Amino acid sequence: MDKIIIDKEKCIGCGRCVKDCVDAALYLEGGKAKRRKSCIECGHCFAICPVGAVDMPGYDTRDCGEVVPLSEIDSARFLQGIKSRRSMRQFKKRPVEPAKIKMILEAGQYAPTAKNAQNVAFTVLTSRRAEIERACVKFFRAGVNAGSKVIPSLRDSKIDDNFFFKGAPLVIVVSGYDSVDPSLASAYMELMANSLGLGVLYSGFFRACTILNPRIKARLKLPFGHKVVTCMIFGYPAVEYKRIAPRKPRQARKV
């Protein structure tokens, strides 16, 4: 199946797709756009064509509607929202609606990836969630008991049964071959979740479990070669923060 199909009848030869092609895979011939064999399937030609002459058969184009620029969102208000976010560790017992879960996953799906790799996977923990958390708790309790002899502060760490997922209603593990693409996807997912009224926590301890204990990672059944980059905890906040927390002075310089 061709990655990109150009409808010769619709193509008006404007050259916009050729000029915007990041892989130099398109060219004009006889007043029509044509494609070379090389193509990273970025979709720029699909998005920029003014007459809809480009199709991508291997992709789901049902949601490819009108472009909505983020510039339509009040930028000062958006920045205030970003500065207001907090890591949430207290959640209500209210479940996250399926429609909101779908939007969170779509936000991650549409995050940028290097070379348009799109190799990020999202694992929603459902039936095996309790089993996986129990295994992590058991593993960490043993580690803390041993580690407290070297690091005294670990003696005060309380690892209860909800230590990793905080009793939240939704847990999504984001994985990939590298760290950059899944991290970008996670940031998009967090912003979407916040816009939906949800709180988010990145469970770094759970990620550590998957690194230190291959058996726990195996229970996630990730795509071959993937590593856990983030474990994201979602739910409706059970606590309200009244003001923006301070940050250290910004490190920014010109070179």
> 251: how many CB neighbours lie within 10 A of its CB?
5
CATH 3.30.70.20 boundaries in the chain: 5-55
Per-residue pLDDT, 148: 52
Residue 218 backbone zone (phi > 0: left; psi -120 to 50: alpha; other: beta): alpha
Per-residue pLDDT, 36: 86
CATH 3.40.109.10 boundaries in the chain: 74-235
pLDDT at 163 over 80: yes
Instruction: Enumerate residues 6+ apart whose C-beta is below 8 A from 222.
Output: 121, 123, 173, 175, 228
Nearest to 198 by CA among 162, 230, 232: 232
Per-residue pLDDT, 140: 84
Per-residue pLDDT, 159: 85
Task: Pull the structure tokens for residue 29.
Answer: 């011939």
| Mean pLDDT calculated for residue range 80-105 | 97
CATH number of 5-55: 3.30.70.20
**Placement of tokens 């939240």 in the chain:** 168
| Mean pLDDT calculated for residue range 223-241 | 97
pTM assigned to the model: 0.89
| Mean pLDDT calculated for residue range 55-76 | 90
Which of 37-46, 90-99, 174-183, 224-233 is the least confident region? 37-46
Instruction: Enumerate residues 6+ apart whose C-beta is below 8 A from 194.
Output: 81, 85, 200
pLDDT at 82 over 70: yes
Per-residue pLDDT band for 62 (boundaries 50, 70, 90) equals: confident
Residue 80 phi/psi, 5-degree rounding, is: -60, -40
Per-residue pLDDT, 155: 66
Q: Say how far residue 85 (Cα) sits from the centre of its chain.
A: 17
Per-residue pLDDT, 65: 84
CATH number of 74-235: 3.40.109.10
Per-residue pLDDT, 113: 94
Q: Longest Cα pair distance anywhere in the chain, in angstroms?
A: 77
CA distance 23 to 19: 10
Distances (CA, A) of 238 to 6, 167, 191, 231: 52, 11, 19, 20
Per-residue pLDDT, 142: 83
Per-residue pLDDT, 2: 77
Per-residue pLDDT, 153: 59
| Mean pLDDT calculated for residue range 161-176 | 96
Per-residue pLDDT, 1: 62
